[in-house]
Structure 1
Amino acid sequence: MSSISFFWSKAFLTSRSMLWLLFLVNAAGTFYGYIWYGNQLQYTVDNHPLWQLVFVPDSPTASLFFTLSLLYLLFPRKGTPSKAFTAVRMGIEALAVVTSVKYGIWAVAMIVGGAMQGDTLEWQHYMLIASHLGMAFEALLYVRFMVFHRLAALLATMWLLLNDTIDYTYMVFPWLPSELEDDLLAIAVFTFGLSIASYLGTLTAWRAKDRIAR
């Protein structure tokens, strides 16, 4: 095995040191993400029904699902898992991949779109670009070690589409740069389309996993 291909191998990617590193990074990012959404969460509590609160913090919730998925790799179940355990795992893993791909790309697109229309980028924007691209990349990279199937991915995508519908019906989508506020219809169409694209990307990665050397 070449030195480069080793970094794509199952031995490296599922080593406990690598999994723990990813777990800590994603857990910290999830925590920071909910703090980042703090003002919008408070605004939602003050101005919207409480049931809409769950649809507000998109990226940190995606990161949370991926963080939980890493626990299944860190602490593999001994023996044959129950159907309930497997169903829960498949749901969490499917949500982890589909939502991480979608919101990882969406956040970068919004930052870049705002900058193209005059928004001034600060160091936090570049940090967010790097971290969100990392979300999408790691999700697709780890598909081959997950147990979910196409139905679970489809159900996860249905959740995304429900989230999109709530976001743009009740205006609880993530706050946008002011430069993009007059592009809301285009952003909504892009968001729905990206949910479908994330599903297709997840399926492509899932189908390719058996062709990738483990």
Structure 2
Amino acid sequence: MPLSLLRFWSAPLLMNRNFLWLLFIVNALGTVYGYVWYGNQLADTWANHPMWRIVFVPDSPTGSLFFTAALLFLLFPARRQGGLYVALRSVIEALAVATSLKYGIWAVAMIFAGAAQGDQLVWQDWMLVVSHLGMALEGLLYVRFMAFGRSALLVATGWMLLNDAVDYRYEVYPWLPSVLTDDIAAIARFTIGLSVCSALIVALALIQRKHRRET
């Protein structure tokens, strides 16, 4: 691998405070934009569904929100880490990595699935492709610097599967291109499978992280 690429993956760059602040700002702005993008669906859900379902509507913004919070743990590590702090940090970090990977891939897949069936791609779609691929990548890049383990990953996996169940049971999944409305059953299966695959990929990353720390 070229030296320039090795530097991109290196801990000194990824854990540089200026770089972490840049990622924090980008993720925070992306989270705000994501919730704004979901605005009409949030309003529709609020008007036509029980209030509790609104939590399950914005998928990608919630994933980037978790990652934004996880970056704060890296920027401001606590000197004293009690049990509650460790548990909270672990769950947030596991959710940050797993949901960033899942929804990063999911959004790109839906955009190109729509395009394959005739949906016209515009510049916003390409912006979403780049930003969501970035979500997936940053999740995998930062696993090795995070503190969560298998128990927190199980919690994150349970959350993703619960989100899938609510989305497709009560039809609060993200609004899709109109050409995909006849593919909802297949999309539901794909989404659940992606939750499982994302959890497995993160589990493998944890194994690799442990191996690195032991060598």
TM-score, structure 2 normalization = 0.96
Distance 2:5 2:147 in 1: 26
Aligned to 2:19: 18
Aligned counterparts, 1:136-147, within 5 A: 136-147=136-147
Is structure 2 residue 68 aligned with structure 1 residue 67?
yes
Percent identical pairs in the alignment equals 60
Amino acid in structure 2 at the alignment position of 1:162: L
Listed as ranges, the matches of 1:195-210 within 5 Å are 195-210=195-210
Letter in 2 for 1:23: F
Report the CA distance between 1:86 and its aligned residue. Answer: 0.4
Give deviations 1:9-44, integer Å, cap 9, x for gaps: 211110001100000000000000000000000000
Pair 1:187-2:190 in alignment: no
Q: Structure 1 counterpart of 2:12, which letter?
A: A
Question: How many angstroms apart in 1 are the aligned matches of 2:177 and 2:100?
Answer: 21
Shift of 1:207: 1.4
Deviation string 1:73-126 (CA, Å, 9 cap, x unpaired) is 111111x41000000000100000111111110000000000000000000000
Distance (whole Å) between structure 2 residues aligned to residue 4 and residue 127 of structure 1: 23
Give the Cα separation in 2 of the matches to 1:2 and 1:29. Answer: 30
Whole-angstrom CA distance in 1 between matches of 2:22 and 2:57: 27
Letter in 2 for 1:186: A
Calculate the aligned-residue CA RMSD, in Å.
1.5
List alignment gaps of at least 5 residues for structure 1.
none
Q: Which residue of 2 aligns with 1:102?
A: 102
CA distance in 1, matches of 2:39, 2:64: 16
Please state if 1:4 is matched with 2:19. no
User: How many residues in Structure 1 have an aligned counterpart in Structure 2?
Assistant: 213
Q: Post-superposition shift, 1:6? A: 2.3
Unaligned runs of 5+ in 2: none
1:44 corresponds to which residue? Answer: 45
TM-score by length of 1: 0.96
**Residue 30 (structure 1) aligns with:** 31
* Residue type of the alignment partner of 2:110: M
Distance 2:107 2:8 in 1: 27
